[in-house]
Amino acid sequence: MIEGHCDPAFEAVRTAFTDGFERGEELGAAVAVYAGDRLVADLWGGVADGKTGRPWLRDTPCLAFSCTKAVTGTAALLLAERGAYDLDAPVTSWWPEFAAGGKEDTTAEHLLSHRAGLPALGRAVPVEEAHDPAAMAALLASQEPEWKPGTGHGYHALTYGWLAGEIVRRHSGRTVGEFVRDEIAGPRDLDLHVGATDEVIGRAARLSTGRAAGDKAGKAGTGRRGGPSGTGDVPMPIDPGGPLAKMMAGCAEPDSLISRTFNNPAITAVPGGNNNPEMLRAGWPALGMVTTARALAAFYRDLLGGRIIGRTALRDAIVRRVAGPDRVIFIDSSFGLGFMRPSLVFLTPKAGWESAFGHTGLGGSISLGDVESELAIAYVPNRMGDEISGGVRAYRLLEAAYASV
């Protein structure tokens, strides 16, 4: 049973959400849509914990993976707007140690747009060490970049959080989680946490990696529409020399840049993986946000309303700094400052191509704002797909929301 409410004008969102359960693609999930300041869809359903059968409730939060990056980036942008640092100035003006390895010309803009050349950690890092943002920042500062900062872009899947997070830590004296609690989520009473308390962990959804009934794995040599892994509904051939084939080959090679980017630290080696309470408490600033869909959509509502950073600062932040083949994942990606822009890894309907911004998350979650339609959308599932970023379940919901405007 799908619970919650939906404005009749946005009934297509309810239909798309319900269809995902009926197709067996979902275990539990929630979706929320704001049109301006009006909550037009707030829906949830299914099971929060596949082991116990605990139902998904109105206040069930879920790990949203890389949707966290947009919140971390916003914290850094807020400090820039307050004059704490200059986005265009060298990082070394406030982080002298970062000059090591030929990175002395790196700017905060580079850090916030995946152009720093530091997508992978230089040595194997235990998960426990990665809970210390200062230690991770120091390690990254000491490294040589994979490419000269500013000359290309590549998805900093984990390191983005410690790089952007160091902007926040050095200019506010607080971790990203503390800053978000004090300056963004707390004042707005948003159930959004970069580092969850025991109370939040107790009611959070438990992630499941098992495929739902009717969800068939793609066979070797085929791809599917959706995120950069190609997951979706309709099998189609993979170009042997194309970016998807290159990404798949890289994932199979332990020493490749994509493998080093995504697999160090080895979260899967931790008992329970991302369900482990220590992981949820740690609140890694690239992927550790635990939130309800309603709170995450409200975050974008307030961004669009100029209530977190000003509208001028937001418009500047979503200007595409980079677009095209990604040096880490090979698929075309595009970034502003702190936000993804529509691309093959952040699929939006055509109506949002020039005006949407936000972030996707491993396994299928998505968060989006649109400066023209004033839509704010968030979707969080606990049944992990095999998408690296975004996917067909999220796209159907975006399509339904845009069609309803």
Tell me: the pLDDT tens digits for 70-96? Answer: 999 999 999 999 999 999 999 999 999
392, two tokens: 């067909």
Tally: H helices and E strands in the chain = 14, 14
CB-CB contact of 42 with 61 (8 Å): no
pLDDT digits 0-9 by tens, 351-402: 999 999 999 999 899 999 999 999 999 999 999 976 654 589 999 999 999 9
Residues 283 and 104: their CA atoms lie apart, in Å, by: 29
Distance CA 68, CA 87 (A): 20
Burial of 54 (0-12, 13-18, 19+ CB in 10 A): middle
Span 103-123, mean pLDDT? 98
- The pLDDT, as a whole number, for residue 385 is 78
Report which of 307, 291, 298 is spatially closest to residue 40, judged by C-alpha positions.
298
Percent of the chain exceeding pLDDT 90 equals: 88
pLDDT at residue 363, rounded to an integer:
85
Distances from the Cα of 380 to the Cαs of 27, 289, 363, in angstroms? Answer: 11, 11, 9
Span 162-183, mean pLDDT?
A: 98
Task: Give how far Cα 393 sits from Cα of 42, 113, 256, 276, 383, Å.
Answer: 17, 26, 29, 26, 11
**Confidence band (pLDDT; 50, 70, 90) for 243?**
confident
pLDDT at 153 over 60: yes
Neighbour-count burial of 245, counting CB atoms closer than 10 A to its CB (0-12 exposed, 13-18 middle, 19+ buried)? middle
Candidate from 61-70, 234-243, 255-264, 341-350 with smallest mean pLDDT: 234-243
Closest of 204, 201, 137, 163 to residue 73, by C-alpha: 163
What confidence tier does 241 reach under pLDDT thresholds 50, 70, 90?
confident
Compute the distance between CA of residue 27 and CA of residue 49 in angstroms, rounded to an integer. Answer: 9
- Residues 28 and 8 sit within 8 Å (Cβ to Cβ): no
In angstroms, the CA 16 to CA 397 distance is 6
Per-residue pLDDT, 65: 97
Q: Give the chain's radius of gyration (CA, Å).
A: 20
pLDDT at position 239: 78
Please give the Cα distance from 102 to 113 (Å, whole number).
Answer: 19
Structure tokens at 118: 């530091």
Alpha-carbon gap, residue 314 to 323, rounded angstroms = 19
DSSP letters, 295-343, are HHHHHHHHHHTTSSS-HHHHHHHTS-SEEEE-TTT-SEEEE-SSSB-SB
User: What's the CA gap between 118 and 87, in Å, rounded?
Assistant: 18
Helix (H, G, I), strand (E, B) or coil at 260: helix
Instruction: Tell me what pLDDT residue 210 has.
Output: 59
Task: Enter the pTM of the model.
Answer: 0.93
- pLDDT for position 181: 98
Whether 26 contacts 38, CB under 8 Å: no
